[in-house]
Amino acid sequence: MRAVIKNIIPRKILDSRGDPTIEIEVVVRGGRGANVSFGRAAAPSGVSKGKHEVIDFPEGGVDASIKKVRGLIAPKLIGIVASEQEKIDGLLHELDGTSNFSKIGGNAAVAISMAVARAAASALGKPLYRYLGGGRAVRLPHPLGNVLGGGAHAGKMAPDIQEFISIPFGAKRFVDAAFANAQVHKKVKTLIEAEDMTFTGGKGDEAAWAPNLNNLDALGVLARACEEVAGEVGFEVRPGLDVASTSMYNAKKQKYVYERGSVNRDGGEQIDFILKLIKTYKLSYVEDPLHEEDFDGFAELTRKAKKQCLICGDDLFATNVGRLQKGLKVGAANAVLIKPNQIGTLSDTLAAVKLAKKHDCVTVVSHRSGETPDETIAHLAVAWGCPLIKAGVAGGERVAKLNELIRIEEELGKEAKMGILQ
């Protein structure tokens, strides 16, 4: 017996910044034993948003989205078989009627879409990763850990660069990788205290340390911490960055404004700067090194990096198939960030993943700066075989994803493998 949607319940909840977001419960009847089952999912919110993302909430915020769900969405979805994911996601687009979910809100759409999948999986008695990925879902992603933060995620005296990241590429088990990142996070604090005598342990939105350091000093701390922890754990831990360049790009001046270094760089100088950082600090991952419209600059950097480093597009692509197609055509990146709430439904998200994989572009499932304890993205990374996940290091809403992946690895037992970078 197929599980049919019987009710959709929206509610306003808190995200990790204390801001309101939306949570959805989908109640179904049928499936294994014809019992009542349900799925629950909550949408995150980003503060560093690309302009090509869907609109998270319409005018009126979360409350307006909840009214739309109750009055417009729920009546149309009740009675549909929960396993018909593409049909349901298509209806969400149709009922909204806009290209960017500005009527019902992308956060409401993605929370419904994810909750439907969770309800369908529950009705079958399967974990979500197995329901979505089948028997081939056995690979755990390597975790990217934001251990030192700046930019829009931290205070005014923090570095311009948004995220300083540790990546335990050499780990053979996810649990070891997760704890290696935690070790780097602790090591970074000790090294910051030696560099900045005024440091009081402040953290940014993603629980990364937010020190009064310039970009290069912060990068030096990161590189040293990764090297020392690698020696302690016995496998490779390498540094990476999320530059979040759009947030520092001045379109009128056509310059990247580095306030901590009192430096303005044009596009060519920015490329040279990033290449120098890659070489000097042996970076393995650089996200959004250029602003969200510079496809040609991304392509030049990716070409010059010569596969020594993953050049990842976030704002550039916004988990949007159309923008990803444009970028892949010119070789704009060799990695793509995957954020379901950037595009609004699981079906749209999976389409971006499939396109990236078809072109040997590494997929990186990602959290947002304003998170909830929802751990759906952990299941998506395993279900879709994404080799990397960006889920933070510390804080309950971050470790919820990491701990879920530890559980999945344990459940898989001898089948479990670490993701392969294409």
Residue 256 Cα distances to 63, 151, 170, angstroms: 37, 13, 34
Q: Given this model, what pLDDT does residue 35 score?
A: 83
DSSP 3-state of 229: helix
The CATH 3.30.390.10 portion of the chain extends over 4-126
User: Model-level pTM?
Assistant: 0.96
Cite the active site residues: 206, 339
Contacts 24+ apart (CB under 8 A), 405-412: 405/140, 405/141, 405/143, 405/174, 405/178, 405/378, 405/381, 406/174, 406/175, 406/178, 408/127, 408/129, 408/140, 408/378, 408/379, 408/382, 409/140, 409/173, 409/174, 409/175, 411/127, 412/138, 412/140
DSSP 282: T
Fold classified for 133-418: TIM Barrel (3.20.20)
DSSP 3-state of 349: helix
Domain at 4-126, CATH homologous superfamily:
Enolase-like, N-terminal domain (3.30.390.10)
Q: Given this model, what pLDDT does residue 419 score?
A: 85
Half-sphere exposure of 313 (CA within 13 A, CB side): 32
Structure token digits, residue 227: 């090297």
Q: What is the pLDDT of residues 51-91, one digit of tens each?
A: 899 999 999 999 999 999 999 999 999 999 999 999 999 99
Compute the mean pLDDT over every residue in the chain, rounded to the nearest whole number: 94
Q: What is the pLDDT of residues 162-203, one digit of tens each?
A: 999 999 999 999 999 999 999 999 999 999 999 888 898 999
> How does residue 48 score in pLDDT terms, banded at 50, 70 and 90?
low
* Kind plus residue range of the DSSP H or E element containing 265: strand 263-265
Neighbouring C-beta atoms of residue 362, cutoff 10 Å = 21
Q: What is the pLDDT of residues 116-174, one digit of tens each?
A: 999 999 999 999 999 999 999 999 999 999 999 988 767 777 899 999 999 999 999 99
Q: What is the pLDDT of residues 282-301, one digit of tens each?
A: 999 999 999 999 999 999 99
Phi-psi region of 206 (alpha: psi -120 to 50; beta: other; left: phi over 0): alpha
Q: Given this model, what pLDDT does residue 1 score?
A: 61
Q: Measured between alpha carbons, how far is 42 from 64 in angstroms, rounded to an integer? A: 16
Residue 147's closest CA among 363, 409, 398?
Answer: 398
Q: Measured between alpha carbons, how far is 11 from 74 in angstroms, rounded to an integer? A: 13
The CATH 3.20.20.120 portion of the chain extends over 133-418
Q: What is the pLDDT of residues 394-411, one digit of tens each?
A: 999 999 999 999 999 999
Contacts of 207 (CB under 8 A, 6+ apart): 146, 392, 393, 394, 395, 398
Q: Given this model, what pLDDT does residue 303 score?
A: 97
Beta bridge pairs of residue 42: 23
